[in-house]
Amino acid sequence: MDVLVETDLQDLVFRTALVVGMGAQARPIAAEAVSGSSDIPEYGQGKTCIDAGGQLLLSLHSACPGELGIIRRISAQGEGIQHWLRSHYRRTPDGFEADRWHSAILTGESAAGFDYVVRCVRDSGEEARFRHVQARLGRFGRLRFAMKPVTPGRLPAWIGWQLDRYVSPATALDAIGEGTVWPEARSRMEAFLGMRLTDRSRPWSIAVEFGTGERTVRVGSTIWSRQPEDRAKRRRFVEQIEAIGGDGEGFEALYRLLLPDVPGPLTRVGRALEIEFRDGRFVGVSALLRADVP
């Protein structure tokens, strides 16, 4: 049965799914991805440096060609927690499948926020490890986001810390036994940004995966979102994705789709970059792109 595109939000997701190669599955993916979207709050509420108050973010990973991450705000901010639904779609011979997480951005330090994080890691079976990491990273920053799989035990949980203004990522990574990844993380981030990082470069985040038995961390920043949305920014992004073996052509097509016809001085499609390492080895780069709905 054909699925009609009925809303601006659904139309945007439909077009992005087409661009990344979902083919005939683009319509049902769009319909599912925005189902129940009537509870999205008024544009601009609960603004953070990651989403800039938008309703929708898209996630791309250099190591996952043909996969589209759709991150949709699902409720207004409350008790210092901004709720999102994160779905990563990919085609299958019979249609499509998706990995799904309940995601939350913690907009302050609250008991409710900490309890939410603890529930996430408890479901992953690694609460003790989380408390070990928190005892070290908590000295250098605060809990910033948490992701727990919709179906507990099927996927890993992710917890992120935003580092304090004058804390170097090298210091924070060293505190959790991951100090060796910083030189490469810094080098790759500089290549995407097209500039040298200094001790004053900020903000930084450290995300840790729980529930897989592997040491997986991501070093992230929204410095990217401060750069003007010009051709040089987009070309650096595409070239670096290609340099690490990703689908540069597909990423560029999606990036262009998200740009307005006439980008303004405040237009920022590229929002955040995360450099991922597993057991000390570089895995790939995850990018968050903002999708504006008319």
Res 7: pLDDT: 67
3-state secondary structure of 148: strand
Res 34: pLDDT: 83
Q: Which two tokens stand for residue 270?
A: 């590229």
Q: At what angle do helices 8-19 and 248-258 cross, to 10 degrees?
A: 160
In the structure, what pLDDT confidence band is assigned to residue 36 with cuts at 50, 70 and 90?
A: low
3-state secondary structure of 213: coil
Distance CA 212, CA 233 (A): 35
Going from the C-alpha of 134 to that of each of 8, 137, 241, 256, the distances in angstroms are: 41, 5, 32, 39
In the structure, what pLDDT confidence band is assigned to residue 294 with cuts at 50, 70 and 90?
A: low
3-state secondary structure of 72: strand
Domain count, the chain: 1
Res 135: pLDDT: 98
| pLDDT tens string 191-229 | 999 999 998 999 999 999 999 999 999 999 999 999 999
Distance CA 148, CA 86 (A): 10
Distance CA 218, CA 205 (A): 8
3-state secondary structure of 258: helix
Distance CA 240, CA 221 (A): 16
Res 242: pLDDT: 96
User: Is position 229 within any domain?
Assistant: no
User: Is position 271 within any domain?
Assistant: no
Domain that includes residue 99, residue range: 1-41+72-107
3-state secondary structure of 26: helix
In the structure, what pLDDT confidence band is assigned to residue 5 with cuts at 50, 70 and 90?
A: very low
Specify the amino acid at residue 207: A
Distance CA 255, CA 178 (A): 32
Instruction: Write down the pTM of the prediction.
Output: 0.91
| pLDDT higher than threshold 90 for residue 41 | no
Q: Looking at residues 126-135, what average pLDDT do you find? A: 97
Is the preceding peptide bond at 203 cis, omega within 30 degrees of 0? yes
Cα angle: 17, vertex 190, 193; to 5 degrees? 50
Residues 6+ apart with CB under 8 A from 285: 61, 62, 188, 192, 240, 241, 244, 246, 273, 274, 275, 276
- Number of Cβ within 10 Å of residue 6's Cβ equals 11
| pLDDT tens string 89-108 | 999 999 999 999 999 999 88
User: Is position 132 within any domain?
Assistant: no
CB 220 within 8 A of CB 50: no
User: Is position 148 within any domain?
Assistant: no
Res 78: pLDDT: 63
User: Is position 189 within any domain?
Assistant: no
User: Is position 29 within any domain?
Assistant: yes
